[in-house]
Amino acid sequence: MGLHGDGGAQAAGAGPRRSGGLRGSVAVFAAVAAVFTVTLPRSLPGGDSDCAVLLCPPCAAVPSQQTDVLEVAHPPGYPLFTLVASLAITLFPFGSVAYRVNLLCGLFGAVAASLLFFTVFRLSGSHAGGILAAGVFSFSRLTWQWSIAAEVFSLNNLFVGLLMALTVRFEEAAAAKERSKIAVIGAFSCGLSLCNQHTIVLYVLCIVPWILFRLLKEKGRSPCKVTTVDSQACQVMTVDSQACQVITVDIQACQVMTVDSQACQVMTVDSQACQVMTVDIQACQVTTVDSQACQVTTVDSQACQVITVDNQACQVITVDSQACQVTTVDSQACQELAVSSLLRLALAFSAGLLPYVYLPVSSYLNRARWTWGDQTTLRGFLTHFLREEYGTFSLVERFWMQSNAVVAVLAGLGLATLVSETHRVLNCHGIQYLEWLSAALFVAYQIYSNYRFDPSSWESVANEEMWQARMKTPFFIFNLAETATVPPDVKAQLYTHAYKLYKEIVYLQEEHPVNWHKNYAIACERMLRLPGTTTDPEVLLSETIRHFRLYTQKAQTDPQRADIIAALKHLRRELRSLRNRKTV
């Protein structure tokens, strides 16, 4: 497939490729739809599927009554999916309500696969490539899982495939009118896709600038050229396609196609303005036109006064560039970036957003059963549309402020990765560990105290990961002191920093993971061996004994529990001996 503007190559294969792409797309749709239908769950598969199904009239029941009014889904509302799902529940005459919505989503996934096949086939010209792309995408684990569930993801995949297919058709379009038509359809599709899942904006933000760039580039290249004609030298007019068809010349035979002898008469050319050029006799004789070999159509001076001949086949008229300049003006191409065209695209995009009118209407009709605020006001509508009350960005911001989990992950995981990667790439062992430790300590001090979350919430899971990440920083520093080949003073500093970090996080909260007691006790025991330590040995021994004891009480299944108990007896004797020496 050639790029836009390669009209000759595209014209030759447009018909077979287009028909082959459509037939292949239908076949891919049928195959994928069959597989998805066989594997459909018969009831709600979980996740947000209950929300997608229960919002529809047959299932939107309250304890005392049945309602015929659709409700509002969680932000950003998903009006398109709710409306289409309600329509599918009404039209499909079989299965449970959940099964009907699952079937609808499976069909969405099959359409997405067919659009992907169409896109790849039109780009590569290969049926195998299109089938491979559609198959790998459709039957990957996540795509398959969410294409057979009552979720918005399969519809989102459909819109992604549609936008890609329209982009390819726009690239292949040779005429400005066709490009304008595809652009309007694409603008409407972009608006309609935003009525489903807002992640589609990532594709829209890439496609729209590219479309405008292509139009601008085409305009700057050669869509229209201004013609200056000297009326006294020769009058040149653009051929009207409805009045007379442009004569094309076959390169091999040089046979001139006739239009209608009654509609067009041959234009006589002033020999002083434009001289008729005789063509090589071996190619075809044009000086004397034989009516049997090559019938020349005449042009009526009032209908059209110019016969355009392919100059690659045989040059009939030699035009003096100073006398008359012949050009063709494509007015449609010149208007592609006009204000009126942009307004037409904006109106098409706005028309695609019309399903969002459903939100205030449904909110008004369901006043007694509000679940997501009041969308009848502009503020309430924007709050719901922008996911302010329950959105990805809102959740991330709230969790960031409460637990600072991102900082903990950077401190716990990033430092270890940085060290190992630097060792591997640079083979450098004389790295300035103290600079790393300063950075780690700075990050560690940014971590706030732990906030409690509902155990059933995802914040609780992430909070547990945060705790483990906070422990990983001193664990890594301690392990570095154990294994790295560094001078004794650097090793002592590593042990000291690990001990301080362990002590801080252990005493920050009363309840923390059990293994922290063991790690902190080992860090205290290592501090006892350091020469010239400024920490009181009695304090270190007491801390070691206390946290080893707490660990053995809580970790009953640790295989090292017996060894730790034996070590505790020895440490208690050492502590008594140390206190006796102090009293003496």
CATH number of the domain bearing residue 418: 1.25.40
Residue 575 within any structural domain of the chain = yes
Query: Which residues form the domain of 240?
Result: 233-320
Say yes or no: 510 and 416 in one domain.
yes
Comparing CA positions, the residue from 467, 465, 410 lying closest to residue 440 is 410
Which residue, of 320, 344, 375, is where some domain finishes? Answer: 320
Per-residue pLDDT of the chain (584 residues; tens, 9 = 90+): 433 433 444 444 555 555 567 889 999 999 999 999 999 887 776 555 545 544 444 343 333 334 455 677 777 888 899 899 989 888 888 888 888 999 999 999 999 999 999 999 999 888 999 999 999 999 998 899 889 988 899 999 999 999 999 999 998 888 878 888 999 999 999 999 999 888 898 899 999 888 878 777 765 544 444 444 444 444 443 334 433 344 343 434 334 444 444 433 434 444 443 333 333 434 443 334 444 433 444 444 443 344 444 444 334 334 444 434 444 445 555 555 567 778 888 999 999 999 988 888 877 776 545 456 667 777 777 777 776 655 555 444 554 444 444 444 444 444 455 555 445 444 444 445 555 556 555 555 444 344 456 666 665 666 666 666 777 778 888 888 888 888 888 888 888 888 888 888 888 767 777 788 888 899 898 888 888 778 888 888 899 999 889 988 888 888 888 898 998 898 888 888 888 887 76
Say yes or no: 425 and 529 in one domain.
yes
Say yes or no: 445 and 541 in one domain.
yes
Say yes or no: 316 and 405 in one domain.
no
Say yes or no: 438 and 552 in one domain.
yes
Say yes or no: 405 and 502 in one domain.
yes
Q: Report how far residue 394's alpha carbon sits from residue 19's, in angstroms, rounded to the nearest whole number.
A: 48
Q: Report how far residue 97's alpha carbon sits from residue 87's, in angstroms, rounded to the nearest whole number.
A: 11
Q: Report how far residue 233's alpha carbon sits from residue 230's, in angstroms, rounded to the nearest whole number.
A: 5
Backbone angles phi, psi at 407, to 5 degrees: -65, -40
Say yes or no: 440 and 307 in one domain.
no
Q: Report how far residue 438's alpha carbon sits from residue 469's, in angstroms, rounded to the nearest whole number.
A: 18
Task: Dig out the tokens for 488 from the structure.
Answer: 């004794």
pLDDT of residue 294: 38
Which residue, of 273, 294, 320, is where some domain finishes? Answer: 320
Residue 130 within any structural domain of the chain = no
Residue 438 within any structural domain of the chain = yes
Say yes or no: 402 and 505 in one domain.
yes
Say yes or no: 398 and 302 in one domain.
no
Say yes or no: 398 and 315 in one domain.
no
> What letter would DSSP give residue 62?
E
Say yes or no: 398 and 287 in one domain.
no
Distance, CA of 110 to chain centre: 19
Residue 31 within any structural domain of the chain = no
Instruction: Count structural domains, the chain.
Output: 2
Residue 311 within any structural domain of the chain = yes
**Strand, helix or coil for residue 314:** coil
Residue 455 within any structural domain of the chain = yes
Task: Dig out the tokens for 301 from the structure.
Answer: 């001076």
Comparing CA positions, the residue from 476, 477, 560, 576 lying closest to residue 518 is 560
Q: Report how far residue 412's alpha carbon sits from residue 313's, in angstroms, rounded to the nearest whole number.
A: 74
Which residue, of 320, 335, 356, is where some domain finishes? Answer: 320
Say yes or no: 533 and 452 in one domain.
yes
Residue 105 within any structural domain of the chain = no
Residue 388 within any structural domain of the chain = no
